[in-house]
Amino acid sequence: MGEAVLILGATSAIARATAAAFAARGAALYLASRDLDELQRIASDLRIRYGVEVHYAAFDAEATETHAAFFQSVLANMPDLSGVVLAFGYLGDQQAARDFKVGAKVIASNFTGAASILSLCADHFEPLQRGFIIGISSVAGDRGRQSNYVYGAAKGALSLYLQGLRNRLYASGVRVITIKPGFVDTAMTYGLPGLFLVASPQDIGERIVRTLGKQADVVYLPWFWRYIMLIIKHVPEPIFKRMKL
Amino acid sequence: MPVLTTSISGWGRYPVQTCELERPERYADLRLDAACLIARGQGRSYGDAALNENGRVLLTGRVNRLLDFDMEQGILRAEAGATLAEILAAIVPQGWFLPVTPGTKFVSLGGCVAADVHGKNHHHDGSFGAHVLALEMILADGSRVTCSPAENGELFWATVGGMGLTGIIGEVTLKLIPIKNSSMMVRHHSAGSLEQLFGLMQDAAIDDRYTVAWIDSMASGSRLGRGVVMCGHHASMQEAPLDSRAKPARARNIPRDFPAWALNPLSIGAFNALYYQREGGKREPFLSDYLPYFYPLDAIANWNRMYGKQGFVQYQCVIPDATAFDGIKALLQELSGSRRPSFLAVLKRLGAQGKGLLSFPMAGYTLALDLPIRDDGLFTLLNKLDEIVLQHGGRVYLAKDARLSAETFRAMYPRYEQWLAIKNKFDPQNRFSSSLSRRLGIGGTHG
């Protein structure tokens, strides 16, 4: 039986590249996001370029009450699901997100929605004693900074959730991998000032798929972000709180 | 949508201008949301066609999905940001090929339509637009319209060759040609003079589906216009059994700018003499993979850096059949007399003019020259070449141009008024505009 992968939030540049890297090694795909028109375009593209089977359906991370039915229909189409990539995320306007009415949406999308669908995936894979869950978090979740702490808090919570899930599912042989991308050349970062060492989505997508062949649990992409964040995490708080970050 | 204000140029790296770039990732985000805008695919036009100084440039490279591939009929529908390289990777293994291809595969589908590009087979198969079955356009009023030769034909033929000035090209449906394998059967013929070269190119016994001539631009006197005529066709199964297929060349890169003195009359003269001996000496037919055959320079990433950081101008013109020999001879004499080295000089035959109102090709011969910018003297020389082209009833290719004048453009493109009437109908405020269109006064008084 070939590989079959569910991509949640499949229209982002990183998700598209990850889907392409899976398709390039022959995996069947199930793409999910809110934007059906885009999903249809991406699905056609993957079928033509890689000759793989591609399904797609609408999925709204914030509409948690719909997740159970959604996941059932994924399994109806792909009973031998090998794994899940959680790629959705919402940055929004981080100035505006200081207002909780706006910030709540950031938390609902990046964390609450993720926790909801991941709980269903975990319950599915655990008794089968196989499968993988790849969660795309962010280096922004490693330390709170004034410029994006609402997004950072939601991604930080996602990182913790994935860590706990990894601990729970270890005994059943289900891989849980946390991906922490640094700056990637996507719509989220396009035109932002102060970016450096920006990676291409293609490179990140290929590396995400390659982590399955390695032992790593938490993967910074590209690798040097592990060291950048190591330094940032170790700046003492009395100094850190004075910094403009 | 976020905007990145930065300096960009075309492939010739002249001129360099500050533009506001936006880069949509969703099809629905292909729209006109600025005072004036031009779409830009891979930025492989040479001059200022995909620049918009202090205006908006819409990067289409991420809206590049292949949408529908009918492998029985050989019909492909794709988003206009897709490159020919991406398309070839999908269609060649299925036994299909592009009906027309320019000399690089790193161009977008939308760019091929907007410049109505041609290949080495124009004298047999016409230009790119002749093989486009339909377009989906995003117009100035925000509407999405399908156009084809049969439906909204006037918009279609104003867009084919229309340099992106009628709207954003969203999707392209293209008719492909069948191939038996990915090899080309190639044959070279050397010519010691321009007379011989024209003789070979007119000889139906030598001509093939794809015909192109390389000219030694440094040769003068009795050897003026000496060169090598290269003919080829897609190999049949008999010509290229599976195990004999040629391997593609390995990729190279020009990591930084060459110094200005690297390409000089001496070094180019020496290269040309070697090239003439080597390529002209290949008298027997041989097999070549399609990649090095159609795209020799694609194997060298950033080859435009060879011309130094001041950039270069590619001058490409066409002279109609009746005056072609005299016109090309006069151009080569002017060039060789100027002692300005042209690293590349290529001559191709063009067939009948297509229906694209601003399209470049017309029945005749087209000469392309790469000229590094050393000083303003180059522009004086190019103005002289313009005069020769005009005297012989020819025109200059806008996709390569960076310096033509508005008056010369009008004289060279007699169907402009017809085009303008359609432009005014679909974009009355002239909001689709570029640095090229303003330089040439295309689109009227607005913008």
The larger pLDDT score, comparing residue A191 to residue A132, is at: A132
User: Would you state the pLDDT for residue A240?
Assistant: 93
The answer to whether residue B93 neighbours chain A at the CB level (below 8 Å) is no
**What is the pLDDT confidence band of residue B248, given thresholds at 50, 70 and 90?**
low
User: Would you state the pLDDT for residue B231?
Assistant: 96
CATH dotted code for B183-405: 3.30.70.2520
pLDDT per residue as tens digits for the range A176-202: 999 999 999 999 889 888 888 899 999
Domain ranges for chain B: 66-179, 183-405
Has residue B439 got a pLDDT over 60? yes
Average pLDDT of the residues in A131-135: 98
Helix %, strand %, coil % of chain A (to 5): 50, 15, 35
User: Would you state the pLDDT for residue B203?
Assistant: 95
Structural domains in chain A? 4-240 (3.40.50.720)
Question: What number of other Cβ atoms are within 10 A of residue A220's Cβ?
Answer: 20
pLDDT per residue as tens digits for the range B184-243: 999 999 999 999 999 999 999 999 999 999 999 888 889 999 999 999 999 999 998 765
Average pLDDT of the residues in B395-414: 97
Which residues have a Cβ under 8 Å from the Cβ of B161 and sit 6 or more positions away? B114, B115, B116, B127, B129, B354, B356, B357, B358, B359, B360
Has residue B446 got a pLDDT over 80? no
The answer to whether residue B69 neighbours chain A at the CB level (below 8 Å) is yes
User: Would you state the pLDDT for residue B447?
Assistant: 37
Q: Which residue of B has its CA nearest to A38?
A: B26
Has residue A166 got a pLDDT over 90? yes
Is B68–A42 a contact, with Cβ atoms under 8 angstroms apart? no
- When CB atoms are compared, the residue of A38, A41, A190 closest to B23 is A190
Is B66–A45 a contact, with Cβ atoms under 8 angstroms apart? yes
Q: Which helix (H) or strand (E) holds B212?
A: strand B210-215
CA distance A72 to chain B (A): 28
Helix %, strand %, coil % of chain B (to 5): 30, 25, 45
In whole angstroms, how far apart are CA A198 and each of A38, A136, A155, A186, A204? Answer: 25, 17, 20, 10, 11
Q: Helix, strand, or coil here: A220?
A: strand
Q: How much of chain A exceeds pLDDT 90, in percent? A: 91
Average pLDDT of the residues in B393-407: 97
Please state, rounded to an integer, the average pLDDT across all residues of chain B. Answer: 93
DSSP E strands: which ranges in A73-138? 83-86, 132-136
The answer to whether residue B26 neighbours chain A at the CB level (below 8 Å) is yes
d(CA B445, CA B424): 11
Closest CA to A88 of A7, A202, A175: A7
Residue B362 contacts residue B395 (beta carbons within 8 Å):
yes
d(CA B314, CA B300): 18
pLDDT per residue as tens digits for the range A67-112: 999 999 999 999 999 999 999 999 988 888 899 999 999 999 999 9
The answer to whether residue A72 neighbours chain B at the CB level (below 8 Å) is no
Has residue B260 got a pLDDT over 90? no
User: Would you state the pLDDT for residue B340?
Assistant: 83
pLDDT per residue as tens digits for the range A73-82: 999 999 999 9
Has residue B311 got a pLDDT over 80? yes
CB pairs under 8 A between A and B: 45
Has residue B259 got a pLDDT over 90? no
ipTM of the complex, rounded to two decimals: 0.94
pLDDT per residue as tens digits for the range A28-59: 999 999 999 999 999 999 999 999 999 999 99
**What is the pLDDT confidence band of residue B65, given thresholds at 50, 70 and 90?**
very high
- When CB atoms are compared, the residue of A13, A35, A48 closest to B69 is A48
B66-179, which class in CATH? alpha beta
